[in-house]
Amino acid sequence: GAVVSQHPSRVICKSGTSVKIECRSLDFQATTMFWYRQFPKKSLMLMATSNEGSKATYEQGVEKDKFLINHASLTLSTLTVTSAHPEDSSFYICSAKPAVAGDIYEQYFGPGTRLTVT
Amino acid sequence: AQKVTQAQTEISVVEKEDVTLDCVYETRDTTYYLFWYKQPPSGELVFLIRRNSFDEQNEISGRYSWNFQKSTSSFNFTITASQVVDSAVYFCALNSDTGTASKLTFGTGTRLQVTL
């Protein structure tokens, strides 16, 4: 149980276009999902916290107009990178926190999406 | 503010050697969790362990063991008799009570290379 999927796993897009990444909790409901970004050989940096039915909370320095997050249901959160630039190329990872958690710190990670902007 | 420090950027060992990955954390919260994750070249984070701040008992799981010492704010990870399949980046992370968000703060990771 507790599986989180991400789609697509890899995407290449042209500079100036937008790309949407989906994060789904497959066998549980998630009131909260987190979006992380990881540059090559670097750590994971939290970008935003996505709460079902409300606006996402962005970390300092993350442009909310560039990285649009929508958490429309208890099993799906999407991250849209708008007007992508090569510097947005990165590995994006989501995690999901169960609505009914064994403890408040429980969360499960997706497999990540590798975005390349050409 | 939370902070996790993994001072070892890269470690290289020969198979069957024991290796310890260091993790030092900072938090003002009294209730928190510490984690270790493994990230193989495929990129997917593999959960290894979670330890809460009230449980300082060391843990052993097969070739893996963890030493949690609150007095030194450390949560070190030892792999005994390392194998080539252990080659990966290992992240230590901290999750403290920041209200409902419970965000994870990751260390910078330690890249472990195990060679024959």
Q: Quote the tokens at residue B71.
A: 């007095």
CA distance B94 to B96: 6
Instruction: Kindly determine whether residue A34 and residue B50, on different chains, have CB atoms separated by under 8 Å.
Output: no
Per-residue pLDDT tens for A25-41?
Answer: 999 998 889 999 998 88
Q: Are B80 and B57 in contact (CB under 8 A)?
A: no
- Quote the pLDDT of residue A54: 85
Instruction: Kindly determine whether residue B102 and residue A97, on different chains, have CB atoms separated by under 8 Å.
Output: yes
Closest CA to A46 of A67, A24, A26, A70: A67
Give the pLDDT band of residue B97 (cuts 50, 70, 90). Answer: low
Per-residue pLDDT tens for B21-39?
Answer: 999 999 988 888 899 999 9
B10 CB-contact burial (10 Å; exposed 0-12 / middle 13-18 / buried 19+)? exposed
β-pairing, B88-96 vs B104-106, is antiparallel
Report yes or no: A107 at the B interface, CB cutoff 8 Å.
yes
CA distance B95 to A44: 14
Instruction: Kindly determine whether residue B106 and residue A44, on different chains, have CB atoms separated by under 8 Å.
Output: yes
Which residues 14-43 of B are in CB contact (within 8 Å) with A? Answer: 33, 37, 42-43
Residue type (1 letter), A87:
E
What's the number of CA atoms in the CB half-sphere (13 Å) around residue A65?
A: 0
- Quote the pLDDT of residue A75: 94
Sequence-ordered list of residues with C-beta below 8 angstroms from that of A12, at least 6 positions apart, any chain: A115, A116, A117, A118
Provide block-wise average pLDDT over 10 residues at a time, chain A (118 residues): 91 97 94 91 90 89 94 93 96 90 75 96
Please list every residue in chain B whose beta carbon sits closer than 8 Å to the beta carbon of residue A42: 108-109
Sequence-ordered list of residues with C-beta below 8 angstroms from that of A113, at least 6 positions apart, any chain: A6, A7, A8, A9, A10, A11, A21, A91, A92, A93
- Quote the pLDDT of residue B56: 84
Q: What is the mean pLDDT of chain A?
A: 91
